[in-house]
Amino acid sequence: MNELVSRATDLVRDGELSYDQKLRRLAILATEALPYPEISAACQEALEKRVICDMYEGHAPYTARYILPDYEKAVRQGLGWLEMEPPEDLDDALAFLLVMYANVPSVTTYPVYLGDLDKVLAPFVTDDLSDAELDRKLRRFWIQIDRIVPDAFAHLDLGPHDSRITRSILRVERSLCQAVPNITLKVHPQITPDDLIEDAVNTVFHNGKPHFVNHPMMVGDHGEQYASVSCYNSLKIGGGSHTLVRINLKEVALRHQGDIDSFLATTLPHYVELTAELTEARIRSLVEQQRFYDTHWLATEGLISLDRFSAMFGIFGLAECVNLLTQYEGREGRYGHDADANALAVRVVERVAELVAARPMPYCEGGGGRCYLHSQSGIDIDHEVTAGTRIPVGDEPGMLDHITTCAPHHHLFASGISDIFHVDETAMRNPRAMVDIIRGGFASGMRDFTFNLDSNEFIRITGYLVRKSDVMNVNEHRGTRHGSDYLAAGAENSYHLTQRAVKRVRANELSPK
Partner 1 sequence: MTGTVTSAPQAHPQDAAIEPVGVGFVAGTIPFSVVDGPGNRFTIFLQGCNFDCVACHNPQTIPSAEGAHFARTVDEVLAGVRRAAPFLSGVTVSGGEATQQPGFVLALFRAIKADPTLGRLTCFIDSNGACPPAVWSTLDPVLGGAMIDLKCLDPEIHRSMTGEPNDEVLASIRQLQAMGKLYEVRLLLLAGVNDDPELLRRTGEWLAAIDPHMRLKVIGFRDHGARPHDPPLVAPTSEQREAAADLLAATPGAAFDICLI
CB of 202 to partner 1, least distance (A): 14
Q: 476 to each of 16, 354, 458, how far by Cα in Å?
A: 10, 46, 18
Whether the CB-CB separation of 104 and 69 falls below 8 Å is answered with yes
From the number of C-beta atoms within 10 Å of its C-beta (0-12, 13-18, 19+), residue 92 rates as: middle
Q: Which is nearer to partner 1, 222 or 500 (CB)?
A: 500
Q: Which is nearer to partner 1, 339 or 510 (CB)?
A: 510
Choose one: 5-13, 68-76, 426-434, 447-455; the region binding partner 1 (CB under 8 A): 426-434
Contact code string over 485-504 relative to partner 1, x by CB under 8 A: ------------------x-
CB of 442 to partner 1, least distance (A): 9
CB of 496 to partner 1, least distance (A): 25
CA distance 169 to 314: 32
Count CB-CB contacts under 10 A for residue 243: 26
The residue from 348, 437, 465, 487 that contacts partner 1 (CB under 8 A) is 437
CB of 196 to partner 1, least distance (A): 16
CB of 379 to partner 1, least distance (A): 32
The residue from 140, 432, 478, 496 that contacts partner 1 (CB under 8 A) is 432
Q: Which is nearer to partner 1, 152 or 427 (CB)?
A: 427
| Cα 19 to the center of its chain, rounded Å | 26
Residue 509 interacting with partner 1 (CB under 8 A) = yes
Q: What DSSP character marks residue 472?
A: H
CB of 454 to partner 1, least distance (A): 14
CA distance 10 to 481: 19
CB of 216 to partner 1, least distance (A): 15
Residue 513 interacting with partner 1 (CB under 8 A) = yes
Q: Which is nearer to partner 1, 190 or 511 (CB)?
A: 511
Write the CB contacts of 230 (distance below 8 Å, at least 6 apart in sequence).
66, 106, 112, 113, 153, 155, 182, 463, 464
Q: Which is nearer to partner 1, 34 or 443 (CB)?
A: 443
Binding footprint of partner 1, residue count (CB under 8 A): 31
Quickly list DSSP for 386-402: --TTPPPTT----HHHH
The dihedral built from the CA positions of residue 403, 408, 409 and 411, taken in this order, carries a sign that is positive
Phi and psi angles of residue 31, each rounded to the nearest 5 degrees, phi first: -70, -20
The residue from 95, 433, 472, 502 that contacts partner 1 (CB under 8 A) is 433
The single-letter code of the amino acid at 485 is D
CB of 427 to partner 1, least distance (A): 5
Site for partner 1 in 390-409 (CB under 8 A): 398-400, 403-404
Count CB-CB contacts under 10 A for residue 91: 13
The residue from 19, 429, 476, 477 that contacts partner 1 (CB under 8 A) is 429
Q: Which is nearer to partner 1, 11 or 346 (CB)?
A: 346
Site for partner 1 in 280-319 (CB under 8 A): none
Q: Is the peptide bond before 210 cis (omega within 30 degrees of 0)?
A: yes
Quickly list DSSP for 216-244: HHHHHHH-SSEEEETTTEEEETT-EEEEE
Choose one: 214-222, 323-331, 349-357, 436-444; the region binding partner 1 (CB under 8 A): 436-444
CB of 433 to partner 1, least distance (A): 4
CB of 438 to partner 1, least distance (A): 9
Provide long-range contacts, Cβ within 8 A and 24+ apart, for 26-32. Answer: 27/109, 28/56, 28/58, 29/4, 31/58, 31/59, 31/60, 31/62, 32/4, 32/58, 32/59
Q: Which is nearer to partner 1, 153 or 205 (CB)?
A: 205
Q: Which is nearer to partner 1, 65 or 503 (CB)?
A: 503
Whether the CB-CB separation of 167 and 121 falls below 8 Å is answered with no
Residue 455 interacting with partner 1 (CB under 8 A) = no
Residue 420 interacting with partner 1 (CB under 8 A) = no
CA distance 484 to 280: 28
Residue 430 interacting with partner 1 (CB under 8 A) = yes
Q: Which is nearer to partner 1, 155 or 503 (CB)?
A: 503
The residue from 200, 406, 434, 497 that contacts partner 1 (CB under 8 A) is 434
Write the CB contacts of 298 (distance below 8 Å, at least 6 apart in sequence).
67, 69, 104, 304
Q: Which is nearer to partner 1, 307 or 401 (CB)?
A: 401
CA distance 233 to 309: 13
Residue 510 interacting with partner 1 (CB under 8 A) = yes
Q: Which is nearer to partner 1, 121 or 437 (CB)?
A: 437
SS3 131: helix
Residue 195 interacting with partner 1 (CB under 8 A) = no
Count CB-CB contacts under 10 A for residue 513: 3
| Cα 74 to the center of its chain, rounded Å | 24
Whether the CB-CB separation of 174 and 142 falls below 8 Å is answered with no
Residue 330 interacting with partner 1 (CB under 8 A) = no
The residue from 103, 444, 493, 494 that contacts partner 1 (CB under 8 A) is 444
Choose one: 136-144, 207-215, 441-449, 453-461; the region binding partner 1 (CB under 8 A): 441-449
Residues that bind partner 1 (CB under 8 A): 398-400, 403-404, 423, 426-427, 429-430, 432-437, 439-441, 443-444, 503, 505-513
